[in-house]
Structure 1
Amino acid sequence: MDQENYEFLTEKLKYTGFEDKLNAKLKEEIKSGKENITLSTSLDIEGKKMDVDLYFKKSAISDRYFFNKFEASLRNENPELEPKRHTFYQNQGVTAKEAFNLLEGRAVFKSLTDSDKEPYKAWLQLDLSAKEDKNNFQVNQYHEKYGFNLEEALRKLPIKELKDDTKTEWMIKALQKGNTYPVVMERKGLEEVMFIEANPKFKSINVYDASMNSVKTSEILGKDQKKGEDQIPDELSGKKKDLKLGEKVGNPEPTLSQSVGKGRNRPRI
Structure 2
Amino acid sequence: MDQENLEYLKEKLKFTGFDTDLNAALEKQIKAGNQAFQLPHSMEIEGKKMDFSLHFRKSNTSERYFLNKYDASLQNPNPEISPKQHTFYNNQSVTAKEAFNLLEGRAVKKGMLNADNEPYQAWMQLDFAEKDKNNNFKIESYHENYGFDSKEALSKLPIKELQDPTKTEWMLKAFEKGNVYPVTMEKGGKEEIMYVSANPKFKSVNVYDVEMKMVKTNDLKLGKDQGKEVKQDQQEEKQQAPKVKNTPKEPKKGKGARM
**How does the TM-score come out when normalised to structure 2?**
0.85
Query: Which residue of the partner structure matches residue 6 of structure 1?
Result: 6
Q: How many residues align?
A: 230
In the TM superposition, residue 114 of structure 1 has moved relative to its aligned partner by 2.2
- Give matches, 1:1-269, under 5 Å: 1-221=1-221, 265-266=255-256
Preserved CA contact (<8 Å) 1:114 1:267: no
> Structure 2: 5+ residue runs without aligned partners?
225-253
SS at match of 2:79: coil
Alpha-carbon distance between aligned partners in 1 of 2:202 and 2:19, rounded to the nearest angstrom: 35
Amino acid at match of 1:97: K
SS at match of 1:34: coil
Alpha-carbon distance between aligned partners in 1 of 2:113 and 2:92, rounded to the nearest angstrom: 8
**More moved, 192-201 vs 111-120:** 111-120
Preserved CA contact (<8 Å) 1:89 1:268: no
Q: Deviations over 1:223-254 (max 9, x none)?
A: x99xxxxxxxxxxxxxxxxxxxxxxxxxxxxx
In the TM superposition, residue 37 of structure 1 has moved relative to its aligned partner by 1.2
- With over 3 angstroms needed to count, the CA separation of the structure-2 counterparts of 1:46 and 1:189, relative to structure 1, is same
Alpha-carbon distance between aligned partners in 2 of 1:57 and 1:7, rounded to the nearest angstrom: 16
Percentage of identical aligned residues? 60
In the TM superposition, residue 92 of structure 1 has moved relative to its aligned partner by 1.6
Alpha-carbon distance between aligned partners in 2 of 1:268 and 1:116, rounded to the nearest angstrom: 16
Alpha-carbon distance between aligned partners in 2 of 1:148 and 1:111, rounded to the nearest angstrom: 15
In the TM superposition, residue 115 of structure 1 has moved relative to its aligned partner by 3.1
SS at match of 2:220: helix
Preserved CA contact (<8 Å) 2:143 2:256: no
**More moved, 40-49 vs 210-219:** 210-219
The 4+ residue runs of structure 1 with deviation greater than 3 A are 266-269
> Structure 1: 5+ residue runs without aligned partners?
226-263
Alpha-carbon distance between aligned partners in 2 of 1:167 and 1:67, rounded to the nearest angstrom: 35
Amino acid at match of 2:26: L
SS at match of 2:167: helix
In the TM superposition, residue 81 of structure 1 has moved relative to its aligned partner by 1.0
Alpha-carbon distance between aligned partners in 2 of 1:52 and 1:267, rounded to the nearest angstrom: 28
Alpha-carbon distance between aligned partners in 2 of 1:166 and 1:101, rounded to the nearest angstrom: 24
Q: Deviations over 1:180-226 (max 9, x none)?
A: 0000101111111100001110111000111111111122248x99x
Q: For the aligned residues, what is the CA RMSD?
A: 1.7
Alpha-carbon distance between aligned partners in 1 of 2:39 and 2:60, rounded to the nearest angstrom: 20
**More moved, 158-167 vs 111-120:** 111-120
In the TM superposition, residue 111 of structure 1 has moved relative to its aligned partner by 0.4
- With over 3 angstroms needed to count, the CA separation of the structure-2 counterparts of 1:195 and 1:155, relative to structure 1, is same
SS at match of 1:174: helix
Q: Deviations over 1:96-129 (max 9, x none)?
A: 0000000000000000122333221100000112
Alpha-carbon distance between aligned partners in 1 of 2:218 and 2:256, rounded to the nearest angstrom: 35
Amino acid at match of 1:74: L
Preserved CA contact (<8 Å) 1:108 1:176: yes
SS at match of 1:115: coil
Alpha-carbon distance between aligned partners in 1 of 2:3 and 2:181, rounded to the nearest angstrom: 40
Preserved CA contact (<8 Å) 1:188 1:220: no
In the TM superposition, residue 132 of structure 1 has moved relative to its aligned partner by 1.2
In the TM superposition, residue 268 of structure 1 has moved relative to its aligned partner by 8.9
Query: Which residue of the partner structure matches residue 246 of structure 1?
Result: none
- With over 3 angstroms needed to count, the CA separation of the structure-2 counterparts of 1:95 and 1:268, relative to structure 1, is farther
